[in-house]
Structure formats: structure tokens, C-alpha cells
């Protein structure tokens, strides 16, 4: 293989898209490498950890077609430091790879390209088109609530479900909170999802990365146990999580007895200040509701205590309830509305956050004992 890359920026963009997929634990040495394939007038760069696979394409001058593998980490670090000039890459004997740019030359040890795993391919049959803006919103409003507990694999991703011909929902939970977002993300009604799928956390993050800032729609396809997403210059395949996502519908409160309308930015700022003195592990804060007032407070025997008052239009019985400050902040930060509706029932029941004018996004927070 022998190629010349005219745009350092294009190469760097491609490497940044694939680098985070590369296997970090080195269970197989080849998985720490990326595969470079040159043919026609394009260079295809592929990476996989066997769960998520990504490939990007960029135009180059191909002087000799071929393939090689190279350490993803080393290659990215080298390209970052190169001057903004033509980059010459060629494969050598014993799978070494040579890189030259300006007065700099590098020789890096590679691995046999035939050892690189074969990746799922994108079939040319009819595919559905999903709107990038809608998909980004669905991911941003749910991904932060995905469970980090690897022993609970069935909630280590976002749940994607079809509820009508055109309406789909995305849901994530870690057992202490739940985020729900609904939209009509597809062009037309040609995408059918007979049963919900669980897209792993890493996979949904990589999808978010490759679709942003590109075409207004991307191809979206389920083949077997893989979700395939294709943009004009990138292709991603994600192995779906096998298992049953918990029934989320009963978790969403339906008839809360208390409802408080709050300015979103003021609430975010108040929570941020009060949480500075919250317990480092639990991040617990108290919300105390009385007529016309919401008091947010925290106390820590090792640090001290904090308190802040917010005026409200609430009229009703007093209530004090505890929440995780970080969970509350993350739920609020993704909301686009200027105001937020906080719905509560009692100190043992979950709270609900939503836009007062829409139920498109809902965030459920389980209370804490403080």
C-alpha cells in the first residue's frame, strides 16, 4: 500500500471518529490496531472491539492499493503532531508502516492485515432514513442515565421502542433514575421495529459522534443482532444487548399531588451551589416545599451546611424530600424549556421533571433517605 493524504484535517477527523472504538484492554493485540485499506481514490479506516465497529472513508491519492494495520493510539498521536503538509503512508516488509511528512519520518511495527476481524457490512437493500436532529435529541436526553453497573447488562444501554407507526421512544435507567424521550425520528413510516432493542452505551455514544454535523438524515437498519448506521463518509455497526429491558411504564408517576413550576436556570444554579457541601458519595440534597417557597439544602458533618430559597407559586401541604444533586442537574441540563415542572407526591415516591408544555421528555428521580 502506498498513499498520499493531502488533508491532515480530514485524516485527523477520521482517526478521531474511530479511535474511541479501539479496544483499550488489549485482550487481543490486533484490536488495538486500525485497518487501513487503500483502493481507487479512497482510504478506508476500520476499528472494532468486536461489539462496536466503525469505518470511515476519505479521499487520498492511491499510488499502490493494499492494506495494513497500525496502532491506533500511536498513529493518532503522530498525525496530531505533524505539520499541515502532505502525509505519505506506505506499507513495508514484515507489516511495518512508514509515515513521512515534511522532514519527519516514522516507521511503526504493524500486524498482518488478515488477522483483523471481518466486520459487518451494509447491505444495499432498501433502508430507512432517520433524521439526525431527532436522533441526537433522543440520545442526549437519555444516554446520561444508562447504568454503569456491568453486572446489570440489560440496562447497560438505551432502550429503543416503536409505539405507533411514526412515534418511537428512547429510555434509559440505572435503577435510581429514568429518562424518557419520544419523537417521530424517521422520514416516512417505512421503519418497523416489532420489538424494542437495547443499544449499548458505547454504541449509542459512537452513533452520536459519527452523525453530528453531517447530513440531515442517515441510513438506519437492523440486521440480525446488529444496528447499522451509515453516513456519506462513515459506517457503524453495533451489536445489540440481548436481554429484556425492564418495564419502564409503571415507574413513571401518573398522578402526583404536588406540582411546582420553576425557572430552569435558577434551579440548576441553586442545586449547583448547595451541592458543594453535599456528601461526596451520596450527593444528597433536601428539597423542602412550603407555601410560596422551595428551600434547597445540604449538610455534611465534615464540611458544613448550605441552604438556598427559591420563591414559587406553590400552595399546599409541606413536603421534604431528598434527591441526588448530580442526577437532578443532569436531568435539567438537557431540557430546552425556560421553565420546568417538578411533580411530587410524598417523600417516598419518585419525583418527575418535565417541560410544562410537553411530555416529550420525562425524567423520573427516585427519592433518597437523608
Domain assignment present for residue 121? The answer is no
Give the model's pLDDT for residue 124.
63
Give the model's pLDDT for residue 304.
94
Average pLDDT over residues 280-305: 94
Domain assignment present for residue 185? The answer is yes
Q: Which of 34-38, 109-113, 241-245, 277-281 has the lowest mean pLDDT?
A: 277-281
Average pLDDT over residues 3-10: 96
Instruction: Tell me the CATH number at 82.
Output: 3.10.150.10
Is the domain of 67 the same as that of 171? no
- Residue carrying the nine cell digits 446488529: 226
Is the domain of 260 the same as that of 347? yes
Average pLDDT over residues 44-72: 96
Confidence at 188, pLDDT banded by 50, 70, 90 = confident
Alpha-helical (H) ranges within 7-90 are 8-19, 72-81
Per the structure, how many domains does the chain have? 3
Supply the DSSP symbol for 186: B
Domain assignment present for residue 233? The answer is yes
Query: Would you say residue 324 has pLDDT above 80?
Result: yes
Query: Would you say residue 248 has pLDDT above 70?
Result: yes
- Cα–Cα–Cα angle for 250, 253, 259, nearest 5°? 175
Q: Which of 199, 203, 22, 41 is nearest to 117 (CA)?
A: 22
Domain assignment present for residue 9? The answer is yes
Give the model's pLDDT for residue 126.
72
- Give the span between the Cα atoms of 223 and 121, in whole angstroms: 10
Is the domain of 357 the same as that of 285? yes
Confidence at 125, pLDDT banded by 50, 70, 90 = low
Query: Would you say residue 127 has pLDDT above 80?
Result: yes
Average pLDDT over residues 158-170: 97
- Is the CB of residue 304 less than 8 Å from the CB of residue 322? no
Is the domain of 339 the same as that of 272? yes
Is the domain of 62 the same as that of 17? yes
Rg (CA), the chain: 25
Measured CA to CA in angstroms, residue 52 lies from 49, 238, 347 at distances of 6, 5, 42
Is the domain of 300 the same as that of 256? yes
Q: Check: pTM over 0.85? Answer yes or no.
A: yes
Average pLDDT over residues 307-313: 95
Domain assignment present for residue 14? The answer is yes
Per-residue model confidence as pLDDT tens digits over 207-227: 999 998 889 999 999 988 999
**What percent of the chain shows pLDDT beyond 70?**
99
Query: Would you say residue 320 has pLDDT above 70?
Result: yes
- Cα–Cα–Cα angle for 360, 363, 369, nearest 5°? 165
Give the model's pLDDT for residue 209.
92
Give the model's pLDDT for residue 14.
94
Copy the grid coordinates of residue 304: 458544613
Is the domain of 270 the same as that of 357? yes
Domain assignment present for residue 23? The answer is yes
Measured CA to CA in angstroms, residue 135 lies from 126, 224, 233, 286 at distances of 20, 21, 18, 34
Copy the grid coordinates of residue 6: 493531502
Give the model's pLDDT for residue 176.
96
Last residue of a domain, one of 239, 262, 285: 239
- Is the CB of residue 356 less than 8 Å from the CB of residue 366? no
Give the model's pLDDT for residue 265.
97
Domain assignment present for residue 136? The answer is yes
Is the domain of 211 the same as that of 142? yes
Copy the grid coordinates of residue 212: 453530528
Query: Would you say residue 236 has pLDDT above 70?
Result: yes
Give the model's pLDDT for residue 26.
67
Domain assignment present for residue 234? The answer is yes
Average predicted confidence (pLDDT) for the chain:
94
Local structure of 323: helix, strand or coil: strand
Last residue of a domain, one of 79, 94, 115: 115
Average pLDDT over residues 323-342: 96
Is the domain of 319 the same as that of 214? no
Give me the domain span that covers residue 340. 252-365
- Cα–Cα–Cα angle for 105, 111, 113, nearest 5°? 105
Amino acid at each position: 500500500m502506498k498513499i498520499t493524504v493531502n488533508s491532515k484535517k480530514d485524516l485527523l477527523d477520521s482517526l478521531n471518529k474511530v479511535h474511541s472504538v479501539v479496544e483499550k484492554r488489549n485482550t487481543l493485540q490486533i484490536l488495538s490496531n486500525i485497518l487501513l485499506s487503500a483502493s481507487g481514490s479512497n482510504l478506508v479506516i476500520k476499528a472494532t472491539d468486536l461489539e462496536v465497529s466503525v469505518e470511515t472513508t476519505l479521499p487520498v491519492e492511491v499510488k499502490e492499493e493494499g492494506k495494513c494495520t497500525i496502532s491506533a493510539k500511536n498513529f493518532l498521536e503522530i498525525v496530531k503532531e505533524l505539520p499541515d503538509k502532505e502525509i505519505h503512508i506506505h506499507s513495508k516488509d514484515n507489516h511495518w508502516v512508514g509515515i513521512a511528512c515534511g522532514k519527519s519520518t516514522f516507521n511503526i511495527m504493524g500486524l498482518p492485515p488478515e488477522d483483523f476481524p471481518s466486520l459487518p457490512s451494509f447491505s444495499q437493500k432498501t433502508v430507512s432514513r432517520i433524521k439526525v436532529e431527532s436522533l441526537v435529541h433522543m440520545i442526549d436526553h437519555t444516554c446520561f442515565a444508562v447504568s454503569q453497573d456491568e453486572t446489570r447488562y440489560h440496562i447497560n444501554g438505551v432502550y429503543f421502542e416503536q409505539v405507533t407507526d411514526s412515534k418511537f421512544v428512547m429510555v434509559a435507567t440505572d435503577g435510581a433514575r429514568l429518562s424518557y424521550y419520544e419523537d417521530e425520528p424517521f422520514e416516512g413510516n417505512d421503519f418497523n421495529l416489532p420489538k424494542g432493542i437495547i443499544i449499548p452505551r458505547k454504541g449509542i455514544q459512537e452513533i452520536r459522534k459519527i452523525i453530528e454535523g453531517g447530513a440531515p438524515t442517515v441510513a438506519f437498519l437492523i440486521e440480525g443482532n446488529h444496528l447499522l448506521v451509515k453516513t456519506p463518509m462513515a459506517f457503524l455497526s453495533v451489536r445489540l444487548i440481548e436481554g429484556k429491558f425492564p418495564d419502564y411504564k409503571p415507574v413513571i408517576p401518573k398522578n402526583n399531588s404536588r406540582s411546582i413550576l420553576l425557572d430552569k436556570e435558577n434551579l440548576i444554579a441553586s442545586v449547583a451551589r448547595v451541592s458543594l457541601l453535599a456528601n461526596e458519595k451520596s450527593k444528597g440534597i433536601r428539597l423542602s416545599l412550603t407555601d410560596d417557597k422551595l428551600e434547597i439544602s445540604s449538610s455534611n458533618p465534615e464540611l458544613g451546611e448550605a441552604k438556598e430559597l427559591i420563591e414559587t407559586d406553590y400552595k399546599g401541604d409541606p413536603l421534604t424530600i431528598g434527591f441526588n444533586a448530580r442526577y437532578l442537574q443532569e436531568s435539567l441540563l438537557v431540557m430546552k424549556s425556560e421553565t420546568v415542572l417538578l411533580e411530587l407526591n410524598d417523600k417516598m415516591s419518585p419525583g418527575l421533571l418535565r417541560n410544562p408544555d410537553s411530555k416529550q421528555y420525562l425524567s423520573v428521580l427516585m427519592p433518597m433517605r437523608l
